[in-house]
Amino acid sequence: MSSRPQRQTKPSQIIRDINADKAAAKPAQKQPRKAKAPAPAAAPAPAAAAVSNDRPIILEAANFDMSGFRGLNLDLSTVPKSKDPKFNPSFNSYENPFWEKFYTPVDGFSKRYMKATDQLITILPATFMLIEDIPESFGVANLELKEEYKKPIVNVPLFSKLKNKEYETQQSKSDTNIAASINFFRNQLPAFQQYKEDDDISWVVNKHRLLVIEIFEYYANLTRIAEEAGEDEEDEEEEEDPKNKKPKNHQLQQSKVDLTL
């Protein structure tokens, strides 16, 4: 495998640079606000281009300082060791054999995924990021299973059964939360509103990459709206007479999405 050029800037430095740029770009004095342009209409989801299985999933090992990225940091010291490979510390590395069954499609969706995750770089765990020359950031939610490992869906999942908790077991009681997430996807995400009345919910699996992209885009947009709302509130507080100030009730509703599908 040909060697890959290594990025000189570490992920933690990327975040520091982003924060430094934001601080430098902030004006020293409050400037008059410009009228906000109406939000552009959501563009239709682009059709996926041809993908390639030739791109290797295993990259060269590299030691990067990942301290700047968010991690789960769970204390599992009292939890018995599991034989499940997902609990192995190496599971978050490209070099783990588990990931050999997957590949990163070279298509428009991958580019869109990179753009969406870039907007959430300080929120998402490092493995969710897709940075070409950083092995630890391999876009885990954008991976596609190689064709030789794919199997047809035998029992088509139905929303009606999910809503009625027919898939629940003694170990799993999450049908209600998952049904709420499905409703959120079908009502809020542009590409999936076409399935609003469908009982067949196999699209959650068949279009998982697009689903993840639109979830990230939704929350990136939500974050932008929250930041703008905060700026507006600061401006209003400066303009108000303190004697006549009234309590505000700026609320931004966020849908809680259960991703344990």
Per-residue CA distances from 34 to 25, 26, 31 (Å): 17, 15, 9
Q: Does residue 199 carry a pLDDT above 50?
A: yes
Q: Does residue 258 carry a pLDDT above 60?
A: no
Query: What is the average pLDDT value for the chain, to the nearest integer?
Result: 73
Alpha helices (H) along 80-174: 108-118, 159-163
Mean pLDDT calculated for residue range 111-126: 91
Which segment of 15-24, 74-83, 200-209 scores lowest on mean pLDDT? Answer: 15-24
Which segment of 33-42, 107-116, 234-243 scores lowest on mean pLDDT? Answer: 33-42
What phi-psi label fits residue 96: left (phi over 0), alpha (psi between -120 and 50 degrees) or beta?
Answer: beta
E-assigned strand segments in 38-155: 102-103, 144-145
Per-residue CA distances from 154 to 91, 133, 141, 157 (Å): 29, 38, 24, 9
Write down the pLDDT at residue 224. Answer: 86
DSSP code, position 138: B
Task: Return d(Cα 17, Cα 11) in angstroms, integer.
Answer: 10
pLDDT-based confidence at 80, cuts 50/70/90?
confident
Q: Does residue 63 carry a pLDDT above 50?
A: no
Of 6 and 128, the one with more pLDDT: 128
Of 129 and 70, the one with more pLDDT: 129
Structural contact between residues 210 and 231, judged by C-beta atoms closer than 8 angstroms: no
Q: Does residue 116 carry a pLDDT above 80?
A: yes
Beta carbons within 8 Å of 53's beta carbon, 6+ residues apart: 103, 146, 147
Q: Does residue 26 carry a pLDDT above 60?
A: no
Write down the pLDDT at residue 223. Answer: 86
Locate 104 and state its tokens: 């990163």
Helix (H, G, I), strand (E, B) or coil at 72: coil
Identity of residue 178: I
Q: Does residue 169 carry a pLDDT above 70?
A: yes
Mean pLDDT calculated for residue range 5-13: 44
E-assigned strand segments in 60-195: 102-103, 144-145
Reported pTM:
0.60
Helices 175-188, 208-239: axis angle to 10 degrees equals: 70
In the chain, the percentage of residues whose pLDDT exceeds 70 is 58
Q: Does residue 208 carry a pLDDT above 90?
A: yes
Q: How many CB atoms lie within 10 A of CB 15?
A: 16
Task: Return d(Cα 179, Cα 167) in angstroms, integer.
Answer: 11
